[in-house]
Amino acid sequence: MTLLWACTGCGAVSASDSGQTPVRHVVVIPVAGEVGPAMAAFIERTLDQGAEQYDNALYVLEMDTFGGRVDSAFQIVETLLNKPRGKTIAYVKKKAISAGALIALACNELTMKHSTTIGDCAPIIFSNEGPKMLGEKFQSPLRAKFRTLAKRNGYPETLAESMVSSDMTVFRIEMDDGRILYIDSVEYEDFSEKEREQIRSKKTVVGKGKLLTMDDQEALEFGFSKMSVESVEEMLEKKNITNYQMIRFEESWSEQLVRLITKIAPILMLLGFAGLYIEMQTPGFGVPGIVGITCLALVFLSQYMVGLANHTEFLIITIGIMLLGIEMFVIPGFGVIGIAGIALMAAGMILSLQDFVLPKVPWERKLFEKNIMTVLGSLFSAFVVIIFFFRYAFPKISQVIHGPYLSADLASSRIDSDNSVNISVGDSGVVIKPLRPSGSVKIGDEVFDMISEGEYIDKGASVVITEIRANRIVVTRSSANDL
């Protein structure tokens, strides 16, 4: 987090025209875009910084989000419940949908701009058939969190739960004594005959199969919102806060970069894995290696800056790269050590994308599965890129990279000649390295690489050349071996 603190950009705007010393600090924090690790780190950083610089500040979260990751939303909720030393107000500037609604209800108060919306926090997953709502196992923990926040702030608990579950039917019931109740159909069925006789009016506010989504007037009517205003300044005026200093925090360039890297992480991992493998298959150290290391480092550092990755993941990835290097440069072939290296690199990248090792709650399991598919998909895509690189791009590098090259070429050579150096078809020799089916044969004083016609020929056997085609010399066992 040190880098994030160093690169913070914020400005202070005085809202007092009287020239008096401000008596209240109002810290405005924009909550815009997708809810994710970068947003969670930004909000935690601003609340920490505000607590250090200002006593008893008023924190206004300016909401404009369609939601995002549940784990990040829960992290923001815990930050809001535990971090601030002052009061928090959610001001819905445009929308607070899904995870955004959860964040808004975690604040001490809710206010909304005219014609804005809040609600619809059903857990969904995107499949080939489109968005699909997850079942009771996922909805139950979310409903419990909404119920807890509603109880804390005095919101109707049943209406808060109906933002999550679409199988609830919620009634607005006005009793003879003036009480207004919001209950679901199950609670209504449990009413006694005497209680039903005291009902003055009954109205369905959330039908079965629907999720509660409120505009500013409905949120005001249902008891969620305190007021509908056009700006933060108007809200402060209605709250009789006139002598204040407004401080607006914005994401620093480093936080914006982290948000971008998080979105393109699969592409960066693809380029990283492909670059490292290409570098290991080519002499020296050049552009592919630099690109590979840079891409993987960007992904890891972005996750480190938002608090998901730490030294453990770095160590796992480093060991994986070392094992892969040993397999490529020290041990011939490709076996257990190479596979272990790739597995460790993949495991390190998966763990760096999340703040847990093994999932404990439903949304962590979904996130874990998504991270596995992201990393394995990047590995598979890197394999495809490598094949195309060595098949099409690598042979053409010499056409775009200028010399120096040798002035002599092989333009006049005959690679399909039946004669090669001092040997020809019919010449005999002795095997000095077993042909299985390739090996070495000595003819006269010279040694040549040759292959047999599919048979294994041991060292010391006599062979005769049957074909010479380009650099391919084919031999067969000599009849002299049968004497």
User: Which DSSP state fits 1?
Assistant: -
The β-bridge relationship of strands 428-433 and 213-215 is: unpaired
Per-residue confidence band for 102, with pLDDT thresholds at 50, 70 and 90: very high
CA-based nearest residue to 123, from 148, 92, 145, 104 = 145
Per-residue confidence band for 233, with pLDDT thresholds at 50, 70 and 90: very high
The CATH class, in words, for 2-120+213-251 is: alpha beta
Which tokens is 63 given?
Answer: 């909401």
> Is residue 344 within 8 Å of residue 338, measured between CB atoms?
no
CA-based nearest residue to 28, from 67, 65, 57 = 57
Torsion of CA 248, 254, 257, 262, to 10 degrees: -100
d(CA 128, CA 140): 25
pLDDT of residue 350 exceeding 80, the answer is: yes
pLDDT of residue 137 exceeding 50, the answer is: yes
Identify the pLDDT of residue 27. Answer: 93
The β-bridge relationship of strands 25-32 and 58-65 is: parallel
Identify the pLDDT of residue 106. Answer: 94
d(CA 446, CA 438): 17
> Is residue 52 within 8 Å of residue 274, measured between CB atoms?
no
> Is residue 26 within 8 Å of residue 241, measured between CB atoms?
yes
The lowest-confidence range among 113-127, 211-225, 266-280, 413-427 is: 413-427
Which tokens is 355 given?
Answer: 């703040």
Identify the pLDDT of residue 8. Answer: 40
Identify the pLDDT of residue 149. Answer: 93
> Is residue 344 within 8 Å of residue 319, measured between CB atoms?
yes
Per-residue confidence band for 329, with pLDDT thresholds at 50, 70 and 90: low
Per-residue confidence band for 3, with pLDDT thresholds at 50, 70 and 90: very low
Q: What is the mean pLDDT of residues 262-287?
A: 77
Residue 408 has φ and ψ, to the nearest 5°, of -85, 145
Q: Would you list the DSSP string of 379-428? A: HHHHHHHHHHIIIIIGGGHHHHS-----S--STT--TT-S-BTTB-TT-E
d(CA 158, CA 212): 10
d(CA 472, CA 450): 7
Position of tokens 């599919």?
454
Describe the strand order of the beta sheet including 180-184 as a list of residue ranges: 180-184, 170-175, 199-206
pLDDT of residue 21 exceeding 70, the answer is: no
CA-based nearest residue to 274, from 351, 147, 386 = 386
Position of tokens 């990393």?
375
Per-residue confidence band for 393, with pLDDT thresholds at 50, 70 and 90: low
* Partners of 60 in beta bridges: 28, 89
Looking at per-residue confidence, does 6 or 222 come out higher? 222
pLDDT of residue 428 exceeding 80, the answer is: yes
d(CA 14, CA 245): 5
- The domains of the chain are located at 2-120+213-251, 137-146+153-211, 264-398, 428-482
pLDDT of residue 211 exceeding 50, the answer is: yes
pLDDT of residue 413 exceeding 80, the answer is: no
Position of tokens 């730490």?
310
* Partners of 41 in beta bridges: none
**Residues whose CB is less than 8 angstroms from the CB of residue 125 and which lie 6 or more positions away in sequence, other chains included:** 131, 132, 134, 366
Q: What is the mean pLDDT of residues 462-483?
A: 78
Domain 428-482: what homologous superfamily? Nucleic acid-binding proteins (2.40.50.140)
d(CA 298, CA 301): 5
Q: What is the mean pLDDT of the chain?
A: 81
